[in-house]
Structure 1
Amino acid sequence: MQLGTIDRGDDRPPYRQIAAQLRDAIDRGELRAGDRLPSEAELTRHYSVARMTARQAIQELRTEGLVVAEHGRGVFVRLPAPVRRLASDRFARKHREAGQAAFLAEAEKAGVRAQVDQIEVSTAPPAPDVRERLRLDDGDSVLVRSRRYLADDRPIEVAVSYLPAEIAEGTPIAEANPGPGGIYARLEDAGHTLDHFVEEVTARMPTGDERRRLELPDGVPVLVVVRTAFDTTGRPVEVCDTVKAAPAYVLEYEVPAR
């Protein structure tokens, strides 16, 4: 790439100008995913600035999640996460009847290879917000299913489902692999025909544990989707708390105009 110059009349400090030039090079495709950025020493020489100024410029891009540092190798343009468009019909019965859970159905549509790991199943008292969403009484327990999802070997989502223990215990839902169609198919097998879902979507920065499990660089936010599933009687039968790597997803909702 062709490096520019520092404009001493610009109100922006030099490190922000350098960061802007590098950012523009990434946006234009002069620096592509996996390319190495000029080193601190190279930036220092070219722009005639202090090494700390060059370091601040690179740190600016790291904070934005555009680049990642690899120890002993340099700083590289971050590889894009596999983008998965989450359509409104991802929980449609047709997918369950075809033996596909929602993640597998979406992965197939996106042309990526889906994997699930870090599966943990336990029974525990629900947190107050889960108890309220599931309309449970004091003393009721929930079956907890925690897992991580990967697309083409890259982790993009962690999820925890909470189901009333009296519904889920003693069924395949309590197994690591609940079988074709996932836990929603097993709920319907147990007589809880699903009627609708309610989702709440927010965004925030990840916790340290989430950043580690999703292998996120500094500065990359997450989407938090809390979904409640209701059966045809109006009973809430599952709450799923999902944390998604924001760059890996486009959320798509079809809203009837009536």
Structure 2
Amino acid sequence: MAELLLPDLDPTSDRAVFRQIADHIRDAIERGTLSEGDKIPSEARLMQHYGVARMTVRNALQVLQGEGLTVAEHGRGVFVRAHPLVRRLASDRFARRHRERGKAAFIAETEGTGGKPSVDSLTIAEEQVSAEVAEKLGIPLEDHVIRRSRRYLINGQPVETAVSYIPAEIARDTQIALPDSGPGGIYARLEELGYRLDHFVEEIRSRMPLRDEVRALKLAPGVPVFRLVRTAYAADGRAVEVCDTVMSSDAYVLSYELPAR
């Protein structure tokens, strides 16, 4: 990387000096002068150029880390943060044609963007349903569900966690309750069991991640998450699955085609 040319501070600005420095570096990142993986000029270099104290430079770098633009590596310096391959959440990702080709939604969409999908941290258990899930499934609180929890990765980088809840009376003693749910995933198994899927309802909210989510998704400071809760309905109107997904916000674009009728 060529020597980064930094502008000078504006002495007439009422913007704090550390924020001006952060603005300069952010602008270089946004223009592509600094690319993913490039090293930010050292604290000593920034102190010399701007004629400021070390704490001022550190405050500027902290702003950029808080925005999720940079990441500090102990003993090496501060680098422009690499972003995962973006997965587009299209409105047809649960189309039957994917299941008929033996592809679950995550695999079909990730492969479509040239990424390598994988799944780990899979756990399966039967448990009593929670109040939130019971309401969405329309089942009594004393009922049980099969809980499938997993983490999804693209090119080895975690991008989302997902927990599916399927009524135990449907999924117990079926392949849905096994680690390998088979080609097309659990939606293909539900349809084989006679629950032909008709539509899905999704609720999406953004928030800052919880501590466990930061660890699971390896999130940089300042990166929020999407929480997407999806309910799958069979043709007879019955809710047959609730999926609670937490996604790294910088790994996704939400893209929906909506009818105008």
TM-score bin, normalised by smaller chain: over 0.9
**Equivalent residue number for residue 26 of structure 2:** 23
Please give the per-residue CA displacement for 1:72-96, whole angstroms capped at 9, x wherever unaligned: 1000000121101111111011110
Out of 171, 187, 190, the residue aligned to residue 187 of structure 1 is: 190
* Matched length: 258
Please give the per-residue CA displacement for 1:213-250, whole angstroms capped at 9, x wherever unaligned: 11111000111110000001100000001111111111
Q: What is the rounded CA distance, in whole Å, between the counterparts of 2:150 and 2:10 in structure 1?
A: 50
TM-score normalized by the length of structure 1: 0.99
Q: Does structure 1 residue 257 correspond to structure 2 residue 260? A: yes
Please give the per-residue CA displacement for 1:178-199, whole angstroms capped at 9, x wherever unaligned: 0000000000111111000000
**Equivalent residue number for residue 160 of structure 1:** 163
Q: What is the rounded CA distance, in whole Å, between the counterparts of 2:124 and 2:103 in structure 1?
A: 20
**Equivalent residue number for residue 95 of structure 1:** 98
User: Does the CA contact (< 8 Å) of 2:160 and 2:247 recur in 1?
Assistant: yes
Question: Any idea what SS the aligned residue of 2:201 has?
Answer: strand
Out of 79, 82, 85, the residue aligned to residue 79 of structure 1 is: 82
**Equivalent residue number for residue 211 of structure 1:** 214
TM-score normalized by the length of structure 2: 0.97
User: Does the CA contact (< 8 Å) of 2:131 and 2:141 recur in 1?
Assistant: no
Which amino acid letter does the alignment assign opposite residue 29 of structure 1? G
> Residues 219-234 of structure 1 correspond to what in structure 2 (within 5 A)?
219-234=222-237
> Residues 129-168 of structure 1 correspond to what in structure 2 (within 5 A)?
129-168=132-171
CA offset at residue 127 of structure 1? 1.5
Which amino acid letter does the alignment assign opposite residue 63 of structure 1? G
Please give the per-residue CA displacement for 1:142-176, whole angstroms capped at 9, x wherever unaligned: 11000000011110010000110110110000011
**Equivalent residue number for residue 122 of structure 2:** 119
Out of 61, 65, 70, the residue aligned to residue 58 of structure 1 is: 61
Which amino acid letter does the alignment assign opposite residue 76 of structure 1? F
Question: Any idea what SS the aligned residue of 1:79 has?
Answer: coil
Q: What is the rounded CA distance, in whole Å, between the counterparts of 1:109 and 1:30 in structure 2?
A: 30
Question: Any idea what SS the aligned residue of 2:23 has?
Answer: helix
CA offset at residue 125 of structure 1? 1.2
Q: Does structure 1 residue 47 correspond to structure 2 residue 50? A: yes
Question: Any idea what SS the aligned residue of 1:213 has?
Answer: helix
Q: Which runs of 4+ in 1 moved over 6 A?
A: none
Q: What is the rounded CA distance, in whole Å, between the counterparts of 1:138 and 1:70 in structure 2?
A: 47
Please give the per-residue CA displacement for 1:11-45, whole angstroms capped at 9, x wherever unaligned: 11100000000000111111110000011121111
Please give the per-residue CA displacement for 1:124-154, whole angstroms capped at 9, x wherever unaligned: 1122110100011131011100000001111
Question: Any idea what SS the aligned residue of 1:106 has?
Answer: helix
Q: What is the rounded CA distance, in whole Å, between the counterparts of 2:251 and 2:220 in structure 1?
A: 13
Q: Tell me the percent identity.
A: 57
Out of 233, 238, 241, the residue aligned to residue 235 of structure 1 is: 238
User: Does the CA contact (< 8 Å) of 2:129 and 2:141 recur in 1?
Assistant: no
Question: Any idea what SS the aligned residue of 1:61 has?
Answer: helix
Question: Any idea what SS the aligned residue of 2:37 has?
Answer: coil
RMSD (Å) for aligned C-alpha atoms: 0.7
Q: What is the rounded CA distance, in whole Å, between the counterparts of 2:27 and 2:156 in structure 1?
A: 29
CA offset at residue 257 of structure 1? 0.7
Q: What is the rounded CA distance, in whole Å, between the counterparts of 1:169 and 1:8 in structure 2?
A: 70
Q: Does structure 1 residue 11 correspond to structure 2 residue 5? A: no
